[in-house]
Structure 1
Amino acid sequence: MVLSKTVSETDASIHSTFASRYVRESLPRFKMPENSIPKEAAYQIINDELMLDGNPRLNLASFVTTWMEPECDKLVMASINKNYVDMDEYPVTTELQNRCVNMIAHLFNAPLDESETAIGVGTVGSSEAIMLAGLAFKRKWQNKRKDQGKPYDKPNIVTGANVQVCWEKFARYFEVELKEVKLRDGYYIMDPTKAVEMVDENTICVAAILGSTLNGEFEDVKLLNDLLIEKNKETGWDTPIHVDAASGGFIAPFLYPELEWDFRLPLVKSINVSGHKYGLVYAGIGWVIWRTKEDLPEELIFHINYLGSDQPTFTLNFSKGSSQVIAQYYQLIRLGYEGYRNVIENCQENAMVLKEGLQRTGRFNIVSKDNGVPLVAFSLKDNSRHNEFEVSDNLRRFGWIVPAYTMPPDAQHVTVLRVVVREDFSRTLAERLVVDIEKVMQLLDDLPPSKPTLPEGAVKKTPLETQREITTYWKKFVMERKKTNGVC
């Protein structure tokens, strides 16, 4: 990876804030030091640098869990030295993983009888889960094409342009064409009708998103299933569906139990979900579940015995920690159906508080929908003077990390801000965020336009001069606020 060299990074060494107490000499920045240093010094040096990171609780860009109960934290730390792949040495951990797979499979209405074991595996997030599901679809399609004596070198997947980048990675890494349904104004998810039109004999699956990263909206998997059944009848194909439920898999069963998006639909052959999102576990855990054993080709499963016993494995990663698997099991049995429903309902209510607060300002259009992931995506009604990126940048002065981004083709002219409402984002924080957004809007109102129309003969200011003007105004703004109400 090429590192951009800022002023601080051009220094050849790192200086500890408490150097006089712990260590007298600076450390090299990009080389291992020749000598050891005291453990206190190593801790202090790293801790000082990490202070400049953002506050995870105020990182509203991320879907990833940033808080768990202290009891779960203890389990995480107690198992942090266990290698998940050593199934013979840690059989209980393996058993807990299998319980999680079965619980999630039943949550997604997998067609299992009482004696059947669900087919699935824990992964390092939904990215690995999607890679595994995609490989299974590719291999099944290739095997069928070989049996038919047809070419099998040009597989493709049909998705919406709103898919997460891991789908693009899968397509590029494993040589599968990605056919994307373009977005349009006011419709920021995959259109099922257009998706089915793009399906051909080389399509290994259609990927539907339950909870778009862009605006949280659920795609209509039921309509996609019905349209695809009709096309399969007409063509003789058997094109299946994968549901990327990374964000929505732990939401829909509790908020919308009647919504048909999962294994109740016959063409849905596999589902991935992120345990570290609304599964309420720290980063590093995902799950992929297959409808039946036949949907996972046996030749993709490896059997090893050099860790002590025969172990079937189908993962891209090998060694990984056990902590997140154990934490997932804790959350599933600790909260149960009732607990998850209460957490998700509370997130949805806090999202509504934020949405209504933004609407009262009269400054924003709400882009997100109410029947999806608990998040609020919004854009400026008037961006002739300032844009969403400036709002995002100025919110960081209050500690908030709120992303601004442009939509994918053909809606790339639309820019939005997005706030993901997680379990640790309370109603008080939602109300405070609205207050701070109003302050930022007042600040921007009082500043000259970011792209002003210059009169003839006028000299355009340099970016540095513009930044100095913003900084000067901000200092004045803060001082005036402190005088009027004592806070800013």
Structure 2
Amino acid sequence: MALHSREDIRSELEDDIYASRDLSVAVPKYRLPDDEQNREHAYSIVHDELMLDGNSRQNLATFCQTWLDDEVHRLMNECIDKNMIDKDEYPQSAEIEARCVHILADLWNAPDAINTMGTSTTGSSEAAMLGGLALKFAWRNRREAQGKPVDKPNMICGPVQICWHKFARYFDVELREIPMENGRLLMSPEEVLKRVDENTIGVVPTLGVTFTCQYEDVKAISDALDRLQDETGLDVPIHVDGASGAFLAPFCQPEMEWDFRLPRVKSINASGHKFGLAPLGVGWIVWRGAADLPEDLIFNVNYLGGNMPTFALNFSRPGGQIVAQYYNFLRLGREGYTKVQSACYDTAEFLAAELAKMGPFRIIYDGDRTKGIPAVAWTLNDDANIGCSLYDLADKLRARGWQVPAYSMPAHREDLVVQRALIRHGVSRDLISLLLEDIERALDHFRSHPVANPLGADEATSYHH
């Protein structure tokens, strides 16, 4: 005892974290501290800072899952050390990943689901890029076999999420993005055919467009491309960006043909961490058959203990999300997914109906499960007089913790400002009722205190997807 200073002993005996010497001063923010700290104290510092983040359950801007079973938390903790790329060390996790691929191939009506090719990814952006790369490599291989140039590949899509712009820039593909027009906010077969040529690597319809949450008509586009092939011989494949809708349509609109039932659909990507109900971040890509994944994209590595093929962009990545995805497949099955997703649609339709009753809003998309994902998109009526812009309304709602983004549409419809709410698992009818009350209060406030200079897109709080 005599060897230790009195102050050191007192420090060891202190049991109140916020009376400790560690927390009596502000810690360095942008350099390593000189001394190590008690682990509980370090945890408290980080934990307290995270209180300043928003409440993810009130974030109606995000498509991503924010509510998870307790069992998912347990599985994620048990898998925190599992590296998905190391299939020799974690063979059962690799088996679970393979099962998920075949489950999805079956769900999306692949003709030979048990023998198809696919992989998990760190999100559907990576999965989308793999789908785009497969289209580009397959197109290039065909052109080279015919002795034709391969220097001007292009891809056709509607108004897309930023990952496709990244793909086009990173991998040197011309993106022929069909702009919105007055009366048309989605890709149409007619607009696709205007842009197709012999350098088109593929067409990418989206099953749940980011801006309006509606489905693009994959079957109509496929039929149009069938007619084009009959007339010209051009055989243009389809990759479906099913980031959200691929986990919705099979359960709530099973008769809709958008997947591998259409022979022209060669690959599909989806976000497991969106309406797949898995935690962030896991995506999936499945090809119609092994022949649709060019061998040039597959690498074999043997320096992790065994020889294994890999065709993802990332190398090391966590395995817990894949295990959690498999847990959801087992726990919910078709019946459970149908119940969960149907409840989300019911709540979206309720929100749309109540917003329409308020008067100033025109509903662009009302959560109709035959046309899109569980969400609502609206704008202001031409004669609306609410004393503010939708940007002001979004900013006011943030004071109550809600993130309900307002944003302008992309090319050719920048004049149209839209507000949108995603209804995910965990966004209950009661929660939406509270949101509606806060919208009413905000409108009352702006009617009594109109904004002299309403916010515009450049001044509004940033919207992040």
Please say whether Structure 1 and Structure 2 have the same fold, judged by a TM-score greater than 0.5.
yes
- Cα deviation, residue 384, structure 1: 7.8
Matched, 1:312 2:314: no
Residues 35-85 of structure 1: per-residue CA shift (max 9 Å, x gap): 212212211111121111000100110110111111121111111111111
Q: Distance in 1 between matches of 2:386 and 2:444?
A: 15
What TM-score does the superposition give when structure 1 sets the normalisation length? 0.86
Q: Say if 2:123 and 2:282, in contact at 8 Å, map to a contact too.
A: yes
Which residue number in structure 1 is paired with residue 442 of structure 2? 440
Equivalent residue for 1:293, pick from 265, 277, 290: 290
Q: Distance in 2 between matches of 1:280 and 1:237?
A: 39
Matched, 1:237 2:234: yes
Q: Distance in 2 between matches of 1:131 and 1:80?
A: 26
- Cα deviation, residue 345, structure 1: 0.4
Which residue number in structure 2 is paired with residue 176 of structure 1? 173
Residues 197-218 of structure 1: per-residue CA shift (max 9 Å, x gap): 2011111000000011111101
Which residue number in structure 2 is paired with residue 351 of structure 1? 348
Write the mapping of 1:70-469 to structure 2, written as runs, cut at 5 A.
Answer: 70-112=70-112, 116-160=114-158, 162-369=159-366, 370=368, 371-381=371-381, 382=384, 385-451=387-453
SS in 1 for 2:150: coil
Q: Distance in 2 between matches of 1:74 and 1:29?
A: 31
Q: Letter of the aligned partner of 2:402 in structure 1?
A: W
Q: Say if 1:23 and 1:37, in contact at 8 Å, map to a contact too.
A: no
Q: Distance in 2 between matches of 1:19 and 1:29?
A: 21
Which residue number in structure 1 is paired with residue 457 of structure 2? none
Q: Distance in 1 between matches of 2:184 and 2:449?
A: 33
Residues 235-281 of structure 1: per-residue CA shift (max 9 Å, x gap): 22211001000010010011111100000111100000100000001
- Cα deviation, residue 284, structure 1: 0.6
- Cα deviation, residue 18, structure 1: 3.7
Q: Letter of the aligned partner of 2:132 in structure 1?
A: G
Q: Say if 1:353 and 1:431, in contact at 8 Å, map to a contact too.
A: no
Q: Distance in 2 between matches of 1:430 and 1:360?
A: 15
Write the mapping of 1:464-479 to structure 2, written as runs, cut at 5 A.
Answer: none
Which residue number in structure 2 is paired with residue 479 of structure 1? none
Q: Distance in 1 between matches of 2:385 and 2:325?
A: 43
What TM-score does the superposition give when structure 2 sets the normalisation length? 0.91
Q: Say if 2:360 and 2:385, in contact at 8 Å, map to a contact too.
A: no
Residues 379-401 of structure 1: per-residue CA shift (max 9 Å, x gap): 12226842110000000111111
- Cα deviation, residue 21, structure 1: 5.2
Q: Say if 1:19 and 1:25, in contact at 8 Å, map to a contact too.
A: no
Paired residue total: 433
Cα 1:176–1:383 change in 2 (3 A) is: farther
- Identity, in percent, stands at 48
- Cα deviation, residue 185, structure 1: 2.6
Q: Distance in 1 between matches of 2:387 and 2:438?
A: 19
Which residue number in structure 2 is paired with residue 22 of structure 1? 22
Cα 1:21–1:31 change in 2 (3 A) is: closer
Q: Distance in 2 between matches of 1:407 and 1:202?
A: 29
Q: Letter of the aligned partner of 1:209 in structure 2?
A: T
Q: Distance in 1 between matches of 2:311 and 2:335?
A: 32
Cα 1:27–1:344 change in 2 (3 A) is: same
Q: Distance in 2 between matches of 1:56 and 1:253?
A: 27
Q: Say if 2:387 and 2:449, in contact at 8 Å, map to a contact too.
A: no
Q: Letter of the aligned partner of 1:426 in structure 2?
A: S
Q: Distance in 1 between matches of 2:289 and 2:274?
A: 25
Q: Say if 1:22 and 1:40, in contact at 8 Å, map to a contact too.
A: no
- Consecutive unaligned residues of structure 2, counting only runs of 5 or more, are 1-16, 455-465
Which residue number in structure 2 is paired with residue 45 of structure 1? 45
Residues 153-176 of structure 1: per-residue CA shift (max 9 Å, x gap): 11010011x200000000000010
Cα 1:185–1:450 change in 2 (3 A) is: farther
- Consecutive unaligned residues of structure 1, counting only runs of 5 or more, are 1-16, 453-488
SS in 2 for 1:405: strand
Q: Distance in 2 between matches of 1:425 and 1:53?
A: 19
Q: Distance in 1 between matches of 2:18 and 2:300?
A: 52
Q: Letter of the aligned partner of 2:156 in structure 1?
A: V
Q: Distance in 1 between matches of 2:252 and 2:148?
A: 45
